Structure 1
Amino acid sequence: MKLSCPALTRWIAVLCCLLSTTYGVFAQSPLAYTTFSKQSPVAHLYPAYTTYVSSEVRGTVTDSSGALPGVSVFVKGQPGIGTTTDLNGKYLLTVPNDNTVLVFSMVGFDNQEIPVKNKEVINVQLKRASNSLNDVVVVAYGKQKKRDIIGSVTTISPEELKVPSSNLTTALAGRLAGIIAYQTTGEPGQDNAQFFIRGVTTFGYRSSPLILIDGVEYTATDLARIQPDDIASFSIMKDATSSALYGARGANGVILVTTKEGKQGKAKVYIRFENSVSQPTKNIELADPVTYLKLHQESVLTRNPLAPLPYSQSKIDYTELGVNKDMFPAVDWMNMLFRERATNQRGNFSVSGGGQIVNYFLAGSFVQDNGILRVDKRNNFNSNINLKTYSLRSNVGLKVTRTTDVMVRLYGTFDDYNGPVDGGTGLYRKVMRTSPVLYPAYYPVDEEHRFVNHIMFGNFDKGNYVNPYADMVSGYKDYNKSLMSAQFELRQDLSFVTPGLAVRAFTNINRASYFDVSRSYNPFYYTATSYDKYANTYQLMVINPDQVGAGAVPQGGTDYLGAPVGGDKTVTSNFYFEGAANYTRTIDQHGLSGLLVVTARSRQDGDTKTLQKSLPYRNMGVSGRATYNFDGRYYAEFNFGYNGSERFYKTERFGFFPSVGMAWYVSNEKFFEQYKSTINKLKLRATYGLVGNDEIGSPDDRFYYLSDVNLNSGTNNPAFGTDGRYTRNTIAINRYENRNITWETSRKANYAMELSLFGKLDVVAEYYTEKRYNILMGRTYIPYTLGLQVDLDNNPPKANVGEASGSGVDISVEYLQNFGKDFLIQARGNFTYARSRLDKNESLQYGDDLYYLNRINYPISQPWGYIAERLFVDDDEVKNSPAQTFGDYKGGDIKYRDVNADGVVDKLDMVPIGFPTTPEITYGFGLSAKYKGLDFSTFFQGTARRSFWIDTRATAPFVSYRYRADELSGYILQNQLLKAYADDHWSEENRNLYALWPRLSPVLNNNNSQTSTWFMRSGAFLRLKQVELGYTVPKKYTNKIHIDNIRVYANGTNLLNFSQFKLWDIEMAGNGLNYPIQKVINAGIQVAL
């Protein structure tokens, strides 16, 4: 065969391209960018590369900081003729003729179009995009340009999520329009924020959003552990159009996170290290021990002057004088157990880069969070909270051919925890229920006990009082938690079949495991007796010698750590498969796209101990999307999800969830040209559709289409024989089958406007409505005469009869102003108003005569209680007022309003009080500025229209309170006295009818502990969430040491709080007796190589 010179050249180019594609040979050679004709032997493999007998153009593409690899360079109108820049930003392209126009395009930069006009060299400097219209946003099962999005999708820059915390969820509040979030504890490892998308519009089992990381479902704790440095995009999907493709799992909204991938270019190394100091935002102030003694005496006398007093006058006098604090203790338990502050460390390392064949992103991180618990040096172990978190991530992409890409994602995160057996919150609650005047934390070693091998902890009477210090230092708990994930993705461009067609598939397998173990010794408790006031001496007596039986309270003391006590052990395995075909095409002024996705997931929980939990959780589905736009002005979109779940009977197993959306780009109309200098962008959009929720019940109660029958029940057993001594187990029916139970469904509508003014101000405003129906709930009106064996009061038959609705507004505003090239200011803010309404709930409906008790049409989390008018003046007023049915009460106790005027105050007088316990308004605003190398930012977060009720049982002084009936069984508890209650309570000397606390009582007064307006407080607050000051070292210095970038910074979070509530951190709401939320001061450095 005889080849002409041009043909020979073409065949050599083909060979070079094949070698380059398969093995990376000639990756830097200009031949790697040579184009081929459609008649080429490899045209069917590489149809995008077409040759013409014409001229060559070469050049370099840069931005303000240097060469840009990966820039698309193609002929305008003929995208099949194109290439990309290499590692040094260079390109070489054969163009058809001298009239050709080249287009230079890259995400995040403005496109440039340059005519060739006989030029052989065209160098281009791209500018950063002045707006984000061409930015690509991650949406359900794919990506869309921001200008093409019709649904309600809000994104946030990962940089804004870099707060001095190891928990990502604590950064969400106030930063994204549509997110309602709040934090109730600051304990390391337990400090996840509660967050909802557009509030809570269901009273069913699950109200939290679906969380997807790289397309795979994970838990809120998994989201909390992800490193902001690893995040490429963070999106929330709020309406039906954006989440309908998730069908049965998208009713509560979707959070979608993607992690970084490598980009073509030289290897970039990134290092960030931080060291921080944390301390409580606010500590609860307790009354001093002497005040505690005196007011405890008063609490007894004011209720019954003839009752015996808890303390002698000499004890009060000696305690006040500070005489022998071992015999007359005055213990500051807070200071004994908790330090003022703790230090924490965080480090992150990553390397990324790639060539034309392989790209990679590798990252690792280490986080250490310490608690504020004190450590007793007499122990040979540390019981302070210490949580170490390690994570590793590897995202490696391989270009197998010019049309085939493979991505392998590996991820692992590991938690190693050490801390007290009861946890930080458990100890905090014990402190709040321990008397400060009965016994010291421990006694010093005296001559008689100088050879003991244990700490002599203090206790009282029989030793059955709680000593929180002993509980803290007498043992420790370890837990290990790990998550391993492996994901394989395949992407195939099928443009050679038809332009714009592509398919992809990926499989993810992940496994999460957890186990904990505790070791502790039984404390030896001592009490001081035989006090000689003249010699100021006492005798120590051990309360629980080691021969005390195992069943005693307390247990017999030991000098050593006992055998490990195993706790929970869980393993969860997940499998997920997703396959999709995507089509995108622009024909003249018509933009078309289509997407079809099939999914399958399975989850298996190990060590579940119950039959229903041990069975796999499985879902399958088909989803699709079709979009159309005309001339960038008119947009339409249709989405659907068709999903199946193992939870339902075969006739209800699959659900169909469609949605539609339309948008009008007003500012792209010709008639709008005259306004574009002022109004740069005006876009209107609307969506409507259905989404579902299949998590409608407890995992212990999954298969409602099956009866739950116990064939060997041990309850209500019949007795036989003359004396009833013989019994037989019976059959018990726990649940009757209901084959009609189905999905919880949400019907959503969304209306939005996007507006840009003067090229500086961007506003997005959205109004939405939602109707939730088929909510699973227990039936109320089932007569006992039906003869059903189930417990109608505690476990009634369930059905999809509940309904609720919601509506609200999301607004986000961003302003950017440049003052020359060195100075810029950016301001941003967002506002979310989300209101829910209960539309149907059988258990909460009343007749016409009690219409005011109906909870229908009120918010789902609306508190109900009594209207407290004031405190009773005296006992005479008590006798002449409507009877209150809550136990004994007298002058100085709370007086409630008789709403229905029937002469009795009871449950029929309860009314809605305050705002819902879930905030209806969340907002945030911030300001950032940059001048040369200096940068400064601040951010405020707030909530409004939220109420909470102070837990009077947990805070009532002197009383015994348990959070659970079986908590600390056998032990005597005695609540502390809050300083605020000591300073402002009703007494014979202070007959203030509006005092903070009513008449004191040594036991729980049921009348004063009713949910009422007396202890209802506004949950509104404004918090200075974050402040940061940073400095970037000029390049003229870093270049000398071969470093691309060095930035040092200092920041802080939870620095100030503005609210009317002063007892504890208001974000903790009604019961502030938990491990406190932390204020953090942080310093860090980040280096790029």
Structure 2
Amino acid sequence: MMKHTKYKILLASLLSIITIIGANAQSISGIIKNPKGEAVPNAIVKLDGLEVTRTDEMGEFQGVDITSKQTLSIEHDLFQKKAIDVNLVPNIIILTPLSHKQGIQIGYGEIEQMKSTQATSAVSGENLKGFSTFTLGNRLSGKIAGLTIVRNGNEPASDIPDMFIRGTSTYNSNNILVMVDGFEATINNLLPEEIESVTVLKDAAALAIYGMRGANGVLLITTKRGVNSRVQVKLDTKLGFSSPARRMKFTDSYTYASLYNEAISNDIGYWSPIYSKDDLELYKNNSDSYFHPNVSWYDEVMRSSVPYTENTLSFTGGNNFAKYYVMLGYVSFDKLYGKNSKAKADELKNMSETSRFNFRTNIDLNINSFWSASVSIGGNIIENSKPNHSNMSDLLASTPPNAFPIKNMGGTWAANNIHTENPLGTLYESGKLSNHDVNVQTGITLNQNLDKLIKGLKLFESVSFVSWTRKNYDRKRDYERYQMNKSADGTISTEKVAGTNTDYQIDENTREQSLRTAYNLGASYSTKFNSVHEVSGLLGFTYSNYEIEGNNAPYRNTGLYGRFGYSFDNRILSEFSFAYNGSENLPPNKRFGFFPAVSLGWIVSNENFAKKINFLNYMKIRTSAGIVGNSHFGISRFAYQTYYANMQDKFNIGSSANVSLNGLQEGRIGNSDITWEKNYKYDLGVDLRLFDKLDVSADVFYEKRTGILSTYASTTPSTIGAILPYENIGKVSNKGFELTLEYSDNLGKVDYYIGGNISYAKNKIDYQAEVTQPESYLYRTGKSANQFFGLEAIGLFQSYDEINNPNTPVQLFSPVQPGDIRYKDQNGDGYVDENDMIAIGKPTIPEINYGFYLGAAYKGLDIKADLYGQANRSIMLSGNHVWAFYNNGQVPEIATERWAYYPEQGIDTRTKAKYPRLSTANNDNNYQSSTFWQRNGSFLRLQNLELGYTLPEKVCRKAYLNKIRLYVQASNLLTISSISDYDPEIVYGYPITKSYSVGLSIQF
């Protein structure tokens, strides 16, 4: 009996174990793809480190039995190893390419990063999505080592930044060349969704192929293309609102009037207030809004927040014959102009909205083994409106809060004889300026594969048309402004001080347009023999013609380009590249030049001794040297020609004194010997992957720009009687370094990454024509091309005894008083004048640019942040946003810390003053460019913070979807800067905004 009982217990135990194992075991399948959505064949699927299967040609694996205690991982030579939670195995698994084994874009081609000897850096379009801004260029801040973004404003559609590659190396035009899908175009109106990658070409090896267009660097944009898979549909939508990150800060009427009493007393020399105590009290308690108004014009004109939306819909797919990518996008950004008004709601919305519709269709056809073709059509339509005023920001800064009320008692718009424009009246009544832009880029490429004749030989022919059309709509009118007056007996009257009520005048016939046509044809060759020798070559011809409607001669460039490479045993790399091209901007007999570059590379990690270093996955050392040119000087075109102009003076002809003709006068003298600027570039770099987790790329560089166009005008007496010609005499050197790091790993089930880049570029003027100076520090030569010059402020004068001290230098700009800025006499001659201006602070263009990013994911949750910053940069404060009462304008809040001493009035700020004494007159002494107004322009900005959640795959399948992701996002939440009163990036004008949004991403 006991024996049977033992067997029963044993059998029950076995059945329990089997049941438990069966409960925890599961059979999984999946599809492995790259970020483009292409299948990854031959990927190794491992359980607990042991191979169990591999993916087929479609990237699929099936029937892998796994328990909850096992570890699943995917490995492939071209991708980073990926560990996956067995309880969260998605149907589609995306692998991240190894940085050194993925293809990178270069001039007129693509190459595996490991085989490249060029200095390039890139960012994917996916990594540009976080930051909300209308213009794409601003999204690139801090994203790419060596690329500097200098923002010129933040008003939607007008926020086009300046872009510099490796700083600046000329004091003429530093405009970079921008190429979209191989042809020159503009990028500012592209959407991140349609972009595959943005690549910066930096050294001679990368730029020589562009010849005299390459000296300032090249930005390559590659748009997305189709893949061989079933159709993939992706919908992204984002809704949010933005508000000023920092606003202009001006005083209220009470403070304004109080400080005005000080200012006028300072001008007179004794206490003599304009505003009585009763006036001040009325301003303070806001009890007389008509004759003692207190209007915050900024708050009345600018809204506290405005909505925006970004939406894209894309289709990707294809087969062995045809692949396609189609995208539609719509973005809309309201502007901050126009505080909510029911009466003006429709008109304000129509006047402050900017929208853009983007479209793209890229098709690749594999016609047969010989022919293939591609067609790319992309563009956008922009509707942009704004108030019919040239500079609303300046109008707000120049209108004091107590100048007049918004409207008079009778409902008329208020103004006065000094301030004749009413900011709110101008906003509501003056109409709007609108433009309707249509941008279209069309590219067609034919390819011939000549493998059957010569293995590795291919031919290509392509043409591109980039058209831009703008239709302007100008709707404007004048309006009456009245001043309200009160007589001694209390009688109130109004008088017109400006304007006449008119009907709207509409001009909608103004049109602008341009067309850029370009051709590119050539041949490429690549082969490998004896298993260790690899040879490649590229030879092509390019021609471009850019025409702008009106009296503008076409811009034309044409020439040959080539690149030839040889590598030995995948260890030693070498390349020679060149361009022989010319420009219409140069003399007919000197339009063409030759621009060569050579580069070498050594893949250290492929050497036998390096393979023994376990933590070294990849290491490559590369160097390059070469010459590139610049024929777009940023000055008047055709400088080789002498120009003539009509004289204002006339001479009489004939028998009648009433018959006269204008004479001709010689303009700038032409120089038939001018040529392009030459930029000699040298680079040394290293690329590393360590511990299978850390990617490193570092470069040091030196450039020497010669032949910069300038004149000897400053060294030649004006009695010469002519405008001197341009000559190739300027020289600038530039040097620096770049570093990019990225680390990715996991802590248990948490995947995380962190990375960043930093670049430093410092230039120096080696020569420019300068008049002989009395002091060495006055020369621009030897200083940065973007250097500030000004006076060195050494405090504020505290008394007349200090000013009249015989040892105190005399400041010659205007008579000084206690509280005025005191400057250092640099040359010790007893006077402070223009000869005491030295190089102050740092350049206007930042010498240091950096960016950081980090993120983590746990199950369906993900979080990421992007930061960027600039350093070694100075800004100079000036104008009516800074100087109190400047041109009868406002008083900025910083002026409340002014120097003042009226003890009878209880006013004494001498020991704590941070601002000079106030004056109602423009003060030439205090308004000089000096260290007093200069600020450290360095900053660090939290550009983007995003938290997302991806729904479980089972939930998505029930909704017949592949992926659903919800996220919340914030931009420009935090800025760290030593400047508290102004934004360090955009000091004045339309403010930088911080934004908050929610988004939804769906994949079908």
Which residue of structure 1 aligns with residue 514 of structure 2? Answer: 572
The reply to whether residue 743 of structure 1 matches residue 676 of structure 2 is yes
Does residue 808 in structure 1 map to residue 746 in structure 2? no
| Aligned match of 2:1001 | 1086
Equivalent positions of 1:408-807 (< 5 A) are 408-422=375-389, 426-443=391-408, 445=410, 456-461=412-417, 465-474=420-429, 475-530=431-486, 539-543=492-496, 554-558=498-502, 560=503, 562-565=504-507, 569-587=511-529, 588-607=531-550, 610=551, 614-675=552-613, 677-698=614-635, 701-710=636-645, 713-717=646-650, 728-780=661-713, 783-784=716-717, 789-791=721-723, 796-807=724-735
1:903 lines up with 2:845 in the alignment: no
1:872 aligns with 2:827: no
Instruction: Give SS of 2:698's match.
Output: strand
Distance in 2 of aligned mates of 1:1080 and 1:371: 13
Alignment partners' CA distance in 2, 1:364 and 1:873: 65
Counterpart in the other structure of 2:167: 199
> What is the TM-score with the length of structure 2 in the denominator?
0.88
Task: Give the Cα separation in 1 of the matches to 2:868 and 2:512.
Answer: 37
Pairwise CA distance, 1:877 = 2.0
Residues of 1 paired with 2:693 and 2:122: CA distance?
A: 19
Counterpart check, 1:1021 vs 2:939 = yes
Secondary structure at the residue paired with 1:291?
Answer: helix
Judged with a 3 Å threshold, the aligned counterparts in structure 2 of structure 1 residues 293 and 520 are, in CA distance, closer, same or farther, namely same
Q: Please, which of 134, 138, 149 is the counterpart of residue 181 of structure 1?
A: 149
Deviation for aligned residue 1:378: 3.0
* Partner amino acid, structure 1, of 2:396: V
Give, in whole Å, the separation in 1 of the partners of 2:633 and 2:452.
46
Are positions 1:957 and 2:855 aligned together? Answer: no
Write the distance in 1 (CA, Å) between the matches of 2:714 and 2:319.
69
Give the equivalent residue in structure 2 for 1:856: 781
For 2:420, the aligned partner's letter is Y
**CA distance, structure 2, for counterparts of residue 839 and residue 782 of structure 1:** 17
Provide the C-alpha distance between the structure 1 equivalents of 2:956 and 2:980, rounded to a whole number of angstroms: 49
> Do structure 1's residue 212 and structure 2's residue 179 form an aligned pair?
yes
Equivalent-residue separation in structure 2 for 1:574 and 1:209 (angstroms): 17
Structure 1 portions without partners, runs of 5+: 1-59, 75-83, 91-103, 112-124, 446-454, 545-553, 961-973
Q: Mark the CA change 1:1085 to 1:531 in structure 2 (over 3 Å): closer, same or farther.
A: farther
Q: List per-residue Cα deviations over 1:52-94 (Å, max 9, x = no partner).
A: xxxxxxxx994279998666899xxxxxxxxx9887979xxxx
Instruction: Give me the TM-score of the superposition, normalised by structure 1.
Output: 0.82
Alignment of 1:920 with 2:847, yes or no, is yes
Q: CA offset at residue 341 of structure 1?
A: 0.7
Task: Work out the CA distance in 2 between the residues paired with 1:738 and 1:616.
Answer: 21
CA distance in 1, matches of 2:859, 2:652: 88
1:403 Cα deviation after fit: 2.8
What SS class does the counterpart of residue 412 from structure 1 fall into? strand
| Contact 2:900 2:908 (C-alpha < 8 Å) held by counterparts | yes
Q: Determine if the alignment matches structure 1 residue 154 to structure 2 residue 121.
A: yes
Percent identity reads 28
Amino acid aligned to 2:166 = R
Is residue 675–residue 728 contact of structure 2 (8 Å, CA) maintained in 1? yes
* CA distance 1:336–1:668, change in 2 (3 Å): same
Change (3 A) 1:653 1:317: same
Q: 1:922 to 1:384 in 2, by over 3 A?
A: same
Aligned to 1:714, the other structure's residue is in SS state strand
Q: 1:67 to 1:274 in 2, by over 3 A?
A: closer
Q: Distance in 2 between matches of 1:86 and 1:650?
A: 57
Who is 1:1075 aligned against?
A: 990
Structure 2 CA distance for aligned equivalents of residues 752 and 665 of structure 1: 12
**1:191 Cα deviation after fit:** 1.5
1:969-999 alpha-carbon deviations (Å, 9 max, x no partner): xxxxx21111221134344433526722111
Task: Kindly provide the amino acid, as one letter, of the partner of residue 846 in structure 2.
Answer: P
Report if the CA contact (8 A) 1:719-1:727 is conserved.
yes
- The reply on whether 1:362 has 2:326 as its aligned counterpart is yes
What are the superposed Cα offsets for residues 100-119 of structure 1, whole Å, 9 maximum, x if unpaired?
A: xxxx99975899xxxxxxxx
Partner of 1:975: 889
Match of 1:818 among 746, 751, 771: 746
State the match for 1:406 in structure 2.
373
User: Can you list the C-alpha shifts for 1:1044-1084, whole angstroms capped at 9, x where unaligned?
Assistant: 1111111111110111111111112xxx3311001111211
**Structure 1 residue 879: Cα displacement:** 2.2
SS of structure 2 residue aligned to 1:731: strand
User: Does the C-alpha gap of structure 1 residues 994 and 640 become closer, same or farther in structure 2, counting only changes over 3 Å?
Assistant: farther
How far 1:722 sits from its partner (Å)? 15
Deviation string for 1:640-698 (max 9, x for gaps)? 011111111122100111000001111111112221x1122221110001111110143
Q: Alpha-carbon deviation of 1:789?
A: 4.2
- Which one of the candidate residues 951, 966, 980 is aligned to 1:1062? 980
The 2-side partners of 1:158 and 1:108 are apart by 19
- Check conservation: 2:547, 2:553, Cα contact below 8 A: yes
Decide which moves more: 175-184 or 723-732.
723-732
Q: Using the TM superposition, name which of 943-952 and 747-756 deviates more.
A: 943-952
Asked whether the 8 Å contact 1:518–1:567 carries over to 2, the reply is no
> 1:381 pairs with 347, 351, 357, which one?
347
Instruction: Name the counterpart of 1:1012.
Output: 930
Shift of 1:876: 2.5
Moved more, 982-991 or 1017-1026: 982-991
Judge conservation of contact 2:897–2:913 (CA < 8 Å) in 1.
no
Tell me if the contact between 1:493 and 1:503 (Cα under 8 Å) persists in the aligned partners. yes
Residue 810 (structure 2) aligns with: 883
Structure 1 residues 235 and 1062, CA, compared in 2 at 3 Å: closer, same or farther?
same
How many pairs align? 932
Q: Secondary structure at the match of 1:604?
A: strand
Answer yes or no: is the 8 Å Cα contact 1:521–1:557 preserved in 2.
yes
1:1043 aligns with 2:961: yes
Q: CA RMSD in A?
A: 2.9
Q: Which SS does the other structure have where 1:802 is aligned?
A: strand
Tell me if the contact between 1:68 and 1:87 (Cα under 8 Å) persists in the aligned partners: no
Distance 1:282 1:736 in 2: 49
- 2:772 alignment counterpart: 846
Letter of the 1:139 partner, please give it: I
Amino acid at match of 1:704: A
Q: CA deviation at 1:1040?
A: 1.4
Deviates more, 1:1043-1052 or 1:717-726: 717-726
Return 5+ residue gaps in structure 2 as ranges: 1-28, 44-54, 62-74, 83-91
Q: Partners of 2:694 and 2:595 in 1: how far apart?
A: 36
Q: Is the 8 A contact 2:32 2:40 kept in 1?
A: no
Q: How far 1:557 moved relative to its partner?
A: 2.0
Over 3 Å counting, the alpha-carbon distance change for 1:840 and 1:1004 in structure 2 is: same
Counterpart code for 2:549? G
Seen in structure 2, the aligned counterparts of structure 1 residues 697 and 945 have a Cα distance that, compared at 3 Å, is closer
Give the match's secondary structure for 1:225: coil
| Letter matched to residue 690 of structure 2 | L
**What is the distance in 1 between the residues matched to 2:510 and 2:875?**
33
